[in-house]
Chains A and B, each alone.
Chain A
Amino acid sequence: GQQLNQSPQSMFIQEGEDVSMNCTSSSIFNTWLWYKQEPGEGPVLLIALYKAGELTSNGRLTAQFGITRKDSFLNISASIPSDVGIYFCAGRNFGNEKLTFGTGTRLTIIP
C-alpha cells in the first residue's frame, strides 16, 4: 500500500526560528493535507492542497503541493511556543475516501 514518509522525524528549535518539514510518497496523490496534533487531542487540519504546484498559506504556515504529486512541504515561520505538537501530512485520491497519514514530525520549541 501507499506509504508517506515524513522528515525530519523530530525537530528541536528555538522560539522565533523558521521550520521546514516534508512528506514524500511512493505514489501520487490528488490531495495533500497537513494536520497538527497536540497532546491528548485529535489531529486538526491546518492546510489543504488540491492542485500540483499549489502554494497555500495559513497565517505563519505555508504548504506546497509538489509538482510530481508525490511530495508536499510545510513551513512555519517565526515559531512560537504554541506551535509545539506533531505535524502529520496526509494524502488522498479523488474517488477514494481514505486518508493515508504520514509518519509525523514532532516539533519541540526550546525556550
Chain B
Amino acid sequence: DTAVSQTPKYLVTQMGNDKSIKCEQNLGHDTMYWYKQDSKKFLKIMFSYNNKELIINETVPNRFSPKSPDKAHLNLHINSLELGDSAVYFCASSPGLAATDTQYFGPGTRLTVL
C-alpha cells in the first residue's frame, strides 16, 4: 500500500492551460505539504495544511491554489501555466507539526509546460 500517492505521475501540457495534481495519504496524518523541485534538484516548500487549514503559504504566485477537501487529500490546482512552472512537484505528509514529526514524501509529479 502506497503511503503518499500522487496523480498523475507525468503531466505534459501547453502554456496557458489549467491543470490539477492530486495527492492522497493513507497514514492518518494531520499535516500535508506541497514542494517544488526545480531542474537543479532544489526542493522548496510551497504550501502546508494542518487539519485542512492552510498554515504555510510561501511566496508562490496566486495562480497556484491548494485545496484540502479532507485531511487525507491535498490537491494543487495551477491556472494559466507558464514555462517556468515546469518542475517536479512533491506532496508530503506528517503526523502533525511537532519538530520530531517525520515528513513522508510522495513519488512526485513531473510537470512539463510546452
Assess the B56–A101 pair: CB atoms within 8 A: no
B45 proximity list for chain A (CB < 8 A):
98-99
Whether A103 contacts B42 in the complex (CB less than 8 A), given A42-B4, A97-B56, A98-B48, comes out as yes
In the complex, A86 has a CB within 8 A of chain B:
yes
Assess the A98–B56 pair: CB atoms within 8 A: yes
Number of A-B contacts (CB under 8 A): 52
A31 vs B100: C-alpha distance when bound (angstroms): 8
Q: Which residue, B4, B41, B43, B107, has most C-beta atoms of chain A within 10 A?
A: B43
A43 vs B41: C-alpha distance when bound (angstroms): 11
In the complex, B66 has a CB within 8 A of chain A:
no
What distance in Å separates the Cβ of A1 from its nearest Cβ neighbour in chain B? 9
Assess the B55–A97 pair: CB atoms within 8 A: yes
In the complex, B31 has a CB within 8 A of chain A:
yes
What distance in Å separates the Cβ of A69 from its nearest Cβ neighbour in chain B? 13
In the complex, A65 has a CB within 8 A of chain B:
no
Assess the A104–B42 pair: CB atoms within 8 A: yes
Within 8 A of B (CB), among A18-77: 30-31, 37, 40-45, 48, 50
What distance in Å separates the Cβ of B2 from its nearest Cβ neighbour in chain A? 11
Whether A44 contacts B105 in the complex (CB less than 8 A), given A50-B99, A97-B48, comes out as yes
In the complex, B13 has a CB within 8 A of chain A:
no
> What residues of chain A have their CB less than 8 Å away from a CB belonging to chain B?
30-31, 37, 40-45, 48, 50, 86, 88, 92-94, 97-99, 101, 103-104, 106
> What residues of chain B have their CB less than 8 Å away from a CB belonging to chain A?
4, 31, 40-45, 48, 50, 55-56, 58, 90, 92, 97, 99-100, 102-108
